[in-house]
Amino acid sequence: MDVVLAFGLVVLLFVILGSGVWIGLSLLAVGMIAMEFVSSRPVGDAMVLTIWGATSSWTLTALPLFLWMGEILFRTRLTQNMFKGLAPWFNHLPGRLLHVNVIGCTIFAAISGSSAATCATIGRISLPELRQRGYPELLAVGTLAGAATLGLLIPPSIIMIVYGVAADVSIAKLFAAGVVPGLLLAGLFMGYIVVWSLFNKDKVPAADADMKLVQKLCAARHLIPVVALIGLVLGSIYSGVATATEAAALGVLGALALSGIERSLSWKSFSEGLAAACRVYCMIGLILAGAAFLTLAMGFVGLPRHLAEFIGALGLSPLVLVLCLTVFFLVLGCFLDGISMVVLTIGVLLPTVQAAGLDLIWFGIFVVLVVEVAQITPPVGLNLFVLQGLTGHQIVYLARAALPMFLLMLGAVLIIFFFPELVLWLPRNM
């Protein structure tokens, strides 16, 4: 009965999403129907409590603040100046300014710890500028979708904390273990941009005029305000002076101060930026609320537990187990957020993982990496929804744009399996 109901819910979700209903409302609707079938608890009561718990988290307040910071930067000359400072240094690298998506997401991932915040903030800054300069939209959107997932892997990461508590392993070692795989993934994305650009030279804007080193250094002065802002946010977090939310507030104040110094922010652009940040956050918040309620419903149905128990009973070799778990988490990622996947399945899976001889620190990074892949897996990839709100493109277009990044991330799963020291060397030498 549980399997039949779960399959029916999957079909229903596809039908509702295909009808054009808002994503958050689609998730809520499927959750309501599931609760009616499997629980005698009043649906309204469960929905209110779940939505309140999902949207009232203090940690979540960093997201709208980072979005606002991105809107301020976007609506002033700061982003244009940033690209002016970066352009000379990427002039001879195939793909040129497309690499800014990856570099920007890698840096911002160390600030926010959220793929949604990384995607929305960097996308708001980079996509309009790349469009204006004539870079291909498909590649610009695709690299942003993939690189934004680094918010889960490069520390600090909330999902690593949740896994560390669930698996009783050192969170500090998990943070250290995520550094090299995060940089590996960023390198794979940049490598793809290089290869794609070499085969599609006519689709990348021509290089700017060559500059001497002195001229490049002179142009780099445009980077100082943005680098100072990043330093303020990162420094406040890693020095222990501020939490992520407080650092996001500092980022907003810093962006306002810089735009005031440059006199490039009017009252009109200020109010428009605030309204735009609110709209994007409301879109993301509704999706998070719907996902939280659907997670509760799936927990009542028992789908995550049944699938985990089924995999555990197969007695698979380590490689086949990792491949099956990859598919397992990708399927769950269509219905659950990353934290919920960890909470609902890790307790059941850990005995199987330990019996297969997999290191629990390594397995934690594997889980985070696969959850990252789920962020760009249709039909319910959160990063795809964020990009849909930013660009107006349909999910099918965005999924096609993100497909190369999806495959590269699956490749990264195999790389860390065959070369586990990429994950374990740093935590072992702390």
Please report the pLDDT score of residue 1 as a whole number.
47
Amino acid at 99: H
What is the structure's pLDDT at 412?
A: 93
Q: What is the pLDDT of residue 380?
A: 63
In order of 27, 49, 71, 130, 416, the CA distances from 187 in angstroms are 35, 42, 28, 20, 14
Q: Is the pLDDT of residue 3 over 70?
A: no
Please list, in sequence order, all residues whose beta carbon lies within 8 angstroms of the beta carbon of residue 338, skipping any fewer than 6 positions away.
Answer: 152, 159, 368, 371, 374, 375
| pLDDT classification of 420: cutoffs 50, 70, 90 | very high
The C-alpha atoms of residue 177 and residue 427 are separated, in whole angstroms, by 6
Q: Which of 15, 51, 126, 76 is nearest to 297 (CA)?
A: 51
Segment 43-96, tens digit of pLDDT? 787 888 888 877 777 766 777 887 788 778 767 766 667 666 776 777 777 887
Q: Are 102 and 143 in contact (CB under 8 A)?
A: yes
Could you tell me the CA-to-CA distances from 349 to 106, 115, 139, 322, 344 in Å, in that order? 30, 25, 37, 12, 10
Residues 275-332 pLDDT 10s: 888 887 787 777 778 777 877 777 777 766 666 667 667 777 888 888 888 988 887 7
Which residue type is seen at 226? V
pLDDT at 362: 94
Most confident among 72-81, 375-384, 414-423 (mean pLDDT): 414-423
Cis amide prior to 379 (ω within 30 degrees) = yes
Report d(CA 256, CA 234) in Å as an integer. Answer: 17
Q: Give residue-wise pLDDT tens across range 220-266.
A: 777 778 778 877 877 787 677 887 678 888 888 988 888 888 777 78
pLDDT digits 0-9 by tens, 25-34: 877 888 888 8
The answer, yes or no, to whether residue 426 has pLDDT greater than 80, is: yes
Task: State the residue for tokens 């659907």.
Answer: 294
